[in-house]
Amino acid sequence: MSKVNIISTITSSEQEVKTTGIGEYDKDNEMLIYTEEDGTKVEFDLSENILRRENDSLKMNYNFDLENNTEGTLLIKELNQYLDLDIITKKIQNDENRFYVEYEIIDNDRFIFELVYEEVK
């Protein structure tokens, strides 16, 4: 795995959260792994367009697919309660060193997730 600089942005109608730091890139499996400032561990599978985020209170797993609506899961740890979320992917761009997705969680909100990464020299 190689070290990469990470700039991650999650935007909703209510807020924008931007994280910068160092992560790891597994080129063979096309997987980016990093930890946000609040301790949230993030894994992003670039080949399958799967976003996983986990912290002390939540664990989420979102699949993005332009062709089909997908089902994501959200675990609220304190309640040991899983929520199934219907996801509509509006736009995906997977360029060299950048992943961008616009998606909507049905009956909730519209979000943008952008991940920019560059190998540390």
pLDDT value at residue 110: 76
Q: How many domains does the chain have?
A: 1
CATH number of the domain enclosing 66: 2.40.128.20
Q: What is the C-alpha separation between 67 and 88, in angstroms, rounded?
A: 9
10-residue mean pLDDT profile of the chain (121 residues): values are 92 90 93 93 95 96 95 95 94 91 85 79 71
Which pLDDT belongs to residue 115?
79
Domain that holds residue 55: 2-119
Ramachandran quadrant class, 60 (left: phi over 0; alpha: psi -120 to 50; beta: rest): beta
pTM for the full predicted model? 0.87
